[in-house]
Amino acid sequence: MKAIFSIYDRATAAISGPRMFSLTLLLTRIALAGVFWRSGRTKVEEGTWLSISDTTYYLFADEYAGVPLPSDLAAVLATVSEHLFPILLVLGLFTRMSALALLGMTLVIQFFVYPEAWWPVHSLWAALALILIIRGGGIFSLDAAMLKMRAQ
């Protein structure tokens, strides 16, 4: 029995180190970024980077009308945010701020657009964002590289 606990303890130590933890944070960054990036890409004209589609403006005026901002402004802010913050997350640059921004978007979507989607969807997005807000981007991020450079 002692040998089993020894193997378990060594395996636990191996997967609990800073590299594995940072790989987990990298995966968390990519997962959250992917959700919002894909959503952002549906808001623009095909073949463009940020040319917001007429459909997007229509959706913000009609289906997302509960958002307490002018619909044209909300469409622009959402589209830009869903492109900017995922890029920053993947790079691990300003990770906490980017995750906080996407958590804010998640809460706006939850309260004003799709309140029935908390458990199946938004709770997962919030959990991913909170992990990044609390723990940062990890050692495999530009945040860590900048911190290292500032310390020199």
Is pLDDT above 90 for 5? no
pLDDT of residue 41: 98
Q: What is the pLDDT of residues 70-113, one digit of tens each?
A: 999 999 999 999 999 999 999 999 999 999 999 999 999 999 99
3-state SS of 48-112 is CCCCECHHHHHHHHCCCCCCCCCHHHHHHHHHHHHHHHHHHHHHCCCHHHHHHHHHHHHHHHHHH
Residue 5 lies inside a defined structural domain of this protein: no
- Which residue range forms the structural domain that includes residue 113? 21-151
- Confidence (pLDDT) at 140: 97
**Mean pLDDT of the residues in the chain:** 96
In a domain, 16, yes or no: no
Share of the chain above pLDDT 70, in %: 100
Minimum mean pLDDT range among 4-18, 71-85, 111-125: 4-18
Indicate the pTM of the whole model.
0.92
Residue 13 lies in a domain: no
Q: How many domains does the chain have?
A: 1
- 28 occurs within a structural domain: yes
Residue 1 lies in a domain: no
